[in-house]
């Protein structure tokens, strides 16, 4: 069992420190409190020196905290708060065992802000890049309602689902990326290493060669002689495209394409709907004001078209209208979803309805990812086979034609 270094105040008012072994932080705190003591601090004790792999890992953790780091912090904080540990001591304990140096410094700053009398949500708001508006508003709502640990559990569950969803989408994109890269590499190899071997055979016989062979031979000669221009052109095109999609016009174009490309539009549509409704449901159930909920939902949706839709809902609700009214004019949400949102508004159970709909679309997203992956595989194989077949045909056809002329 792991060891925990504790600081506690006894029933006689004395402050003592020591080490206790327990299965987890909650069990350690309960064991100390069962003796009539007040736990002031509880920190896991790390044994042994770090290995070289751990030191290399430390170097990789010098950047800001990842989504997984934020999730782990939230889960640990919820457990320690339920164990009766003070917020200041819990944040400090988590900070001391955090491997990421920047994240550790951030947590110590949060602890100092809490010690100075600020609310925890105010301390988090000083780090908006890592603790987003949803996180801060849900914490602020829990401070008003007094359900801090339960809200941390809800936030942790939300973060875990978002990480899982993102990993599923990224995983679905990896396979076609690998196949496309392989197709490009094979094509470059054939054009720069295989076709030049046939150049001497076909030299002086251009009139007898079909157009595919002439085209590929010229392309092969250009790539061999001016390969640096090809590389520079590809790099310039990649940089230009990356710069373009960072612009407002390029961003809108990219977001529209994600909802237009036949194979991927169903995947991204399910992703944006699930993310938006899940975020909105969590905020509504947390007691966050509706206007703040709609503003945060638009920011987290992940697509400019959905962001514009939620902004229009925000403007409409601000004038006193219901949420479902502006949604009925949009084509980004299915009619069934809009009807369920309307029914949830009328019955006063909007949070429950949003949770159910987001759960349905999260399940649909997993099914769509499986479907898209299964569809991409044969498509990429056909494309790759067509390219290789075209090159093979361009080599074999003139050989047959020349052999016929010889006869």
> What's the pLDDT score for residue 52?
46
Let me know whether 93 and 172 are in one domain: no
What is the rounded distance in angstroms from the CA atom of residue 97 to the CA atom of residue 200? 68
Residue 144 lies in a domain: no
Q: Which residue has the tokens 């969590």?
A: 282
Let me know whether 276 and 193 are in one domain: yes
Structure tokens at 376: 């991409």
Let me know whether 253 and 312 are in one domain: yes
Q: Tell me if 165 sits within 8 A of 365, measured CB to CB.
A: yes
Q: φ, ψ for residue 130 (rounded to 5)?
A: -105, -30
Residue 232 lies in a domain: yes
> What's the pLDDT score for residue 22?
76
C-alpha neighbours within 13 Å on the C-beta side of residue 20: 21
Residue 149 lies in a domain: no
CATH number at residue 88: 1.20.81
Let me know whether 199 and 71 are in one domain: no
> What's the pLDDT score for residue 264?
81
Domain residues for 299?
165-407
Cβ-Cβ contacts under 8 Å for 335 (sequence gap 6 or more): none
The DSSP string of 107-159 is HHHHHHHHHTT--HHHHHHT-TTTS-HHHHHHHHHHHHHT-HHHHHHHHHHHH
Let me know whether 332 and 187 are in one domain: yes
pTM equals 0.69
The answer for 13, left when phi > 0, alpha when psi is -120 to 50, beta otherwise, is left
CATH number at residue 314: 1.20.81.30
Let me know whether 369 and 249 are in one domain: yes
The predicted-structure confidence for 391-402, as pLDDT tens digits, reads as follows 888 777 777 766
> What's the pLDDT score for residue 232?
93
Query: Given 81, 107, 131, which residue is the final one in a domain?
Result: 131
The Cα-based distances of 262 to 168, 258, 268 in angstroms read 19, 9, 11
Let me know whether 121 and 177 are in one domain: no
Residue 152 lies in a domain: no
Let me know whether 66 and 206 are in one domain: no
Q: φ, ψ for residue 6 (rounded to 5)?
A: -120, 155
> What's the pLDDT score for residue 46?
56
Q: Which residue has the tokens 């250009």?
A: 222
For the chain, the domain total comes to 2
Residue 258 lies in a domain: yes
> What's the pLDDT score for residue 50?
46
Cβ-Cβ contacts under 8 Å for 326 (sequence gap 6 or more): 309, 312, 313, 315, 316
Query: Given 110, 131, 152, which residue is the final one in a domain?
Result: 131
> What's the pLDDT score for residue 235?
93
Cβ-Cβ contacts under 8 Å for 208 (sequence gap 6 or more): 398, 401, 402, 405
Let me know whether 253 and 369 are in one domain: yes
Q: Which residue has the tokens 């003070």?
A: 86
What is the rounded distance in angstroms from the CA atom of residue 34 to the CA atom of residue 388? 74
Cβ-Cβ contacts under 8 Å for 75 (sequence gap 6 or more): 152, 153, 156
The predicted-structure confidence for 24-56, as pLDDT tens digits, reads as follows 777 777 777 777 777 776 677 655 444 544 544
Let me know whether 34 and 170 are in one domain: no
What residue ranges of the chain have pLDDT lower than 50?
A: 48-50, 52-53, 55-56, 58-61, 407
Residue 302 lies in a domain: yes
- Long-range contacts made by residues 135-138, C-beta under 8 angstroms, separation at least 24? 135/70, 137/283, 137/286, 137/288, 137/292, 137/296, 138/282, 138/283, 138/286, 138/288
Residue 136 lies in a domain: no
Let me know whether 213 and 297 are in one domain: yes
Residue 150 lies in a domain: no
Query: Given 84, 114, 131, which residue is the final one in a domain?
Result: 131
Let me know whether 255 and 342 are in one domain: yes
CB burial readout 265-300, b (16+ within 10 A) else e: ebbbbbbbbbbbbbbbbbbbbbbbebebbbbbbbeb
3-state helix, strand, coil in the chain (%, to 5): 75, 5, 20
> What's the pLDDT score for residue 61?
46
């Amino acid at each position: 069992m792991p060891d925990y270094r504790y600081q506690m105040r006894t029933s006689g008012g004395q402050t003592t420190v020591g080490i206790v072994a327990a299965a987890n932080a909650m069990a350690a705190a309960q064991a100390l409190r069962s003796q009539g003591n007040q736990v002031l601090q509880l920190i896991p004790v790390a044994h042994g020196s770090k290995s070289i792999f751990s030191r290399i890992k430390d170097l990789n953790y010098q950047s800001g905290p990842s989504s997984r780091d934020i999730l782990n912090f939230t889960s640990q904080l919820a457990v320690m708060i339920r164990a009766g540990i003070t917020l200041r001591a819990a944040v400090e304990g988590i900070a001391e065992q955090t491997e990421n140096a920047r994240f550790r410094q951030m947590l110590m700053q949060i602890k100092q802000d809490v010690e100075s009398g600020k609310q925890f949500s105010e301390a988090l708001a000083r780090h908006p890049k890592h603790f987003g508006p949803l996180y801060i508003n849900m914490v602020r709502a829990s401070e008003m309602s007094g359900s801090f640990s339960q809200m941390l559990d809800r936030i942790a569950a939300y973060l875990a689902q978002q990480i899982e969803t993102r990993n599923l989408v990224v995983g679905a994109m990896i396979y076609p990326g690998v196949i496309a890269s392989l197709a490009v590499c094979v094509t470059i190899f054939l054009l720069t290493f295989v076709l030049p071997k046939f150049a001497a055979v076909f030299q002086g016989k251009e009139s007898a060669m079909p157009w595919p062979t002439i085209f590929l031979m010229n392309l092969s000669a250009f790539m061999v002689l001016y390969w640096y221009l090809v590389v520079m052109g590809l790099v310039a095109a990649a940089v230009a495209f990356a710069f373009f999609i960072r612009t407002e016009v390029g961003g809108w174009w990219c977001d529209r394409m994600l909802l237009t490309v036949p194979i991927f539009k169903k995947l991204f549509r399910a992703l944006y709907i699930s993310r938006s409704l899940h975020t909105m449901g969590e905020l509504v159930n947390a007691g966050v004001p509706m206007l703040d909920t709609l503003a945060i939902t638009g920011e987290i949706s992940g697509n400019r078209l959905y962001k514009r839709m939620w902004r229009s809902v925000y403007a409409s609700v601000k004038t006193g209208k219901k949420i479902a009214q502006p949604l009925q004019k949009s084509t980004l949400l299915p009619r069934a979803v809009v009807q369920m949102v309307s029914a949830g508004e009328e019955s006063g159970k909007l949070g429950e309805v949003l949770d159910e709909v987001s759960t349905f679309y999260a399940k649909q997203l997993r099914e769509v990812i499986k479907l898209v992956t299964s569809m991409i595989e044969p498509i990429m194989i056909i494309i790759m086979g067509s390219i290789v077949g075209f090159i093979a045909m361009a080599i074999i056809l003139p050989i047959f034609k020349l052999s016929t002329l010889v006869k």
